Amino acid sequence: MRVVLVGPPGAGKGTQAQFIASHLSIPKISTGDIFRANVSGGTELGKLAKEYMDRGDLVPDEVTVAMVRDRLSEDDAQEGFLLDGFPRNVPQAEVLKKMLAEFGTGLDVVLNLVVEDDEVVRRLAGRRTCRSCGKVWHVVFDPPAVEGVCDACGGELFQRDDDREETIRRRLEVYQEQTAPLISFYADEGILQGVDATGPVEEITQRAMSALRRFAD
């Protein structure tokens, strides 16, 4: 199966990508992994991408697209793949569609992990990080024995700026702005499938798998 996975920060996308890909015996292809592989492999595209990243600039779409094309041309991706982090916008989605059509194929389904903003805030804003050892705790899901103190090393716990409610809500807004058009694009294509991404991790995977089965035949 050829699957794209989308979902907001805090939806557990990375974890689900891993589980779903392994259930389906297809490679999980994330843009992060592709970037790292190209940069560490010293490919021409990797060198180009690194120039942008070193300057603190975004890697242009055409470089990302070329890397995705190379990756999707590899042997292990011929029977299917799960894409995570690509496409990010409608132009990229259109390029992907054209690319797959050239390969004589197309996407089967786009899974959209659905989580309420308040739930994302509850998950992320409860995180506390140890100043000494860096271990991450959670005030509700994984609290230390003594509030504000790391069980592992006795260090002081603090809330990172990234885990503050305002920061999380801002990231969610940016995500919605960028992703809403992508979601409607795939809804129009008739391949969008929402998956309730609340509750235990295994239950979310099961929901995703039954959603995929509906598209399998």
User: Quick check: bond before 87 cis, omega within 30?
Assistant: yes
The reply to whether 170 belongs to the active site is: no
When the beta carbons of 12 and 155 are compared against Zn ion, the nearer one is 155
Spatial CB neighbours of 210, under 8 Å, sequence gap ≥ 6: none
The answer to the question of whether 133 is labelled as a binding residue is: yes
Among 150, 168, 192, 212, binds Zn ion (CB under 5 A): 150
Determine whether the annotation assigns residue 143 to a binding site: no
Q: Is 122 a catalytic residue?
A: no
Given the complex with Zn ion, which of 133 and 174 has the nearer CB atom?
133
Q: What is the rounded CA–CA span in Å between residue 115 and residue 11?
A: 6
Q: Does 130 bind Zn ion (CB under 5 A)?
A: yes
Least distance (Å) between residue 135 CB and Zn ion: 5
How far, rounded to the nearest angstrom, does the alpha carbon of residue 79 sit from its chain's CA centroid?
A: 21
**Is 88 assigned a catalytic role?**
yes
- Judged by CB under 5 A, how many residues of this single chain contact Zn ion? 8
Figure out which of the listed residues 149, 155, 179, 198 binds Zn ion, where binding follows CB under 5 A: 155
Whether 127 is catalytic is yes
59 is in an annotated binding site: yes
The answer to whether the annotation marks 150 as part of a ligand binding site is yes
Among 53, 58, 101, 133, binds Zn ion (CB under 5 A): 133
Determine if residue 127 is labeled as part of a ligand binding site. yes
Candidate list 131, 160, 170, 213, residue with the active-site label? 160
CB 115 within 8 A of CB 176: no
> Least separation, in Å, of the C-beta of 14 and Zn ion?
24
Residues 159, 164: Cα–Cα separation, whole Å: 7
Residue 157 binds Zn ion (CB under 5 A): no
* Least gap, CB of 143 to Zn ion (angstroms): 14
Neighbour order of strands in the sheet with 109-114: 28-30, 81-84, 2-6, 109-114, 192-196
| CA atoms in the 13 A half-sphere facing the CB of 17 | 22
Distance, CA of 175 to CA of 2 (rounded, Å): 23
Q: Closest CB to Zn ion among 153 and 201?
A: 153
143 in contact with Zn ion (CB under 5 A) = no
Q: Catalytic: 213? A: no
Nearest partner of 10 among 174, 200, 197, judged by Cα: 197
Secondary-structure breakdown of the chain: helix, strand, coil percentages, each rounded to the nearest 5: 55, 15, 30
Which residues of the shown chain bind Zn ion in the complex (CB under 5 A)?
130, 132-133, 135, 150, 152-153, 155
Active site residues: 13, 88, 127, 160, 171
